[in-house]
Each structure stands twice: as structure tokens, then as C-alpha cells.
Amino acid sequence: MKYVLLDRDGTIIQDPLDERVDRIEKIELFPDSIEALKYLADNDFGVVLITNQAGIGEGRITEEEFWAIHSEVLNQLSPSGVNFVKTYMNGEASGPNATEWRKPGPKMLLQAAEDLSINLKDVFMVGDNQSDIDAGINAGCKGSILVETARNKKVTSPNAIYTAPNLLDAAHYIISNSWCGSY
């Protein structure tokens, strides 16, 4: 199996205006999310989700509530047929006291590589923020792909290997720029 590392909020599901998916009612898939994930599944890619959840550190949501919401996200994405291999979540609030477990730190990606025997040099990290791009770079990924789906701001990144207008376009780039072999 090949792998791709994906951010969740703002990449697969839309960021609410307050940037916190802290209730099931706030889950809104992007129109192309299922099609993009199906395309990855059809090409033997498993998805590892890498997500910062500052709302936990801010006291807006508990970790238990996060996992309940996350379960519903996965349920809504299940028609894609993609294998969600594992989810890595960091609940720290952003700021000077954040650890290397919070993106742009590489710890979640490095832990995924260790747990799943992934060679990060063969894997793309995909996200909608500079912290996602930097996490992929900091972990030594093959490349970081920016999807221009951030709702509240225009994000650009000179460090992204590719900038895609949406997840489906990113999935096409990943398939076109991956090779067969062990991952």
C-alpha cells in the first residue's frame, strides 16, 4: 500500500468561519472530497490523517468530543472507499508553548512513519495552511502540497512542491508523481 498524509480541517472538510469544527453540525465536506479520496483508493493509497485541534487546548471541545466528531467525518467520507489507516491528532493550542507534536512540528508525521513503517521520502503531505507544508518539509516528506481551500484567508507557500485549487487536483498530482514499489 502507498500512503498520503492529509490534513483534515480545511483540506477534506471546510473550515467553519470560526475555524473550529467543535460540533457535528459544523462538518461540511468539500464537494470533491469523496471523489478525490475515491481516486486515491482506486490507486491503492491509504490515507493517514494529521490534524491540529487547537480547540481542545483552548477548552472549546474535549478530546472525547473530538473523536465523536471525527468518527462522523469518517462516516461521511466512507463512500469514497479509501482506507483511513490512522489519525494523528494534536490538541495543543497554538503559541510559544506548543511542542513539536503540533504542526509545523514533525512529530505526528514521524510517529506515523514509525508506527506504519512508512518511508516519508516517498510520501506527500497535503494541507491548506503553511503549518501543513512546513510539517511535511520538517519531517522529510517527498513534498508538501498546498490546497487553496482555506476559507478565511488566502494561503500561498513558496515551499510547497505543488499548489492545487482543491483536493481532487492534489490527488491527480499525487498519482501522477508517485511510483510503484514498497512504501
Which residues are identified as catalytic? 7, 9
Residues in the chain, total: 183
Judging by beta carbons within 10 Å of its beta carbon (0-12, 13-18, 19+), is residue 75 exposed, middle or buried? exposed
Bridge partner residues of 89 (DSSP):
51
> Could you tell me the sign of the dihedral formed by the alpha carbons of 160, 164, 166, 169, in that order?
negative
Judging by beta carbons within 10 Å of its beta carbon (0-12, 13-18, 19+), is residue 108 exposed, middle or buried? buried
∠166-170-172 over CA atoms, to 5°? Answer: 120
Cβ atoms within 10 Å, residue 109: 24
Can you say whether residue 59 is alpha, beta or left, with left for phi > 0 and alpha for psi between -120 and 50 degrees? left
DSSP letter at 171? H
Instruction: Tell me the three state secondary structure of residue 177.
Output: coil
At 115, list the grid cell: 508506527
